[in-house]
Amino acid sequence: MNDILLESRNLGVLLIHGFTSSPDQMKPFGEELTKHGITCFIPMLTGHEKIPDSLTNVKNGDWFNDAERAFEQLRSKTKNVIVAGHSLGGTLSLYLAERHSLNDGLIALCLINPAIKLTVEERRAIRFGRFYQKRLGVSVKPFQVLKNTIDDVRSRLNRITVPVFMFISNKDELIPFAYQQWLFNKLNVPKYFVTLPEEGHSPSSKAAAFIINSFLELSNVVL
């Protein structure tokens, strides 16, 4: 599993995979988008080279650095960039929009079930995991880094100025639907909320096709 670059023309889409996943997760999106003349880059996030062993070495800020490097790499090849991500990838998409704007070539975000807040149960599990880490022999470090990453991004949402397209599963077992509605209401930009009926946190191939078609239709109208 490595970075994937699917090159076509002067509009680029940066596709960022989720926590414990890989660039292969986003490759079908990239392959479809290139059919429409769009350059796609799908980077490998730090710690995801050989899961789960490689994740134990991840540090706070690693995924932010990955996202920034990937954005700059794609920007060197295209005039304009849309950033799209699933789960943690959605979180990192928001991070890039907090740091970049139309002046930097960032023209929109496409979020698929972004990880914007952990539930009380998930946070409690991390705390208890740290307490029992040595006894259980299972590292909770990557989960703590995940929590810190999400909390950091959530604190600066008011800096986002580009349009945002949100595709949200109504049966997401990890990120409650209400959290996504909160994020949508929090964003003070042109925004679009599309519900994925009967889908869980990782959308099915059928939902993926719907996301791509809807995204292309919306972007043609808005951008």
Residue 140, burial from CB neighbour count under 10 angstroms (0-12, 13-18, 19+): buried
Domain residue limits, the chain: 4-213
Q: What is the pLDDT of residues 97-126, one digit of tens each?
A: 999 999 999 999 999 999 999 888 888 777
pLDDT-derived band at 206, boundaries 50, 70, 90: confident
In the CATH scheme, what architecture does the domain 4-213 have? 3-Layer(aba) Sandwich (3.40)
Q: What is the pLDDT of residues 134-193, one digit of tens each?
A: 544 557 788 889 999 999 999 999 999 999 999 999 999 999 999 999 999 999 999 999
What is the rounded CA–CA span in Å between residue 113 and residue 165?
11
| Alpha-carbon separation of residue 68 from 38, 41, 61, 83, 95 (angstroms) | 20, 13, 11, 11, 9
Task: Please list the residues that pair with 169 across neighbouring strands.
Answer: 196
pLDDT of 43 > 60? The answer is: yes
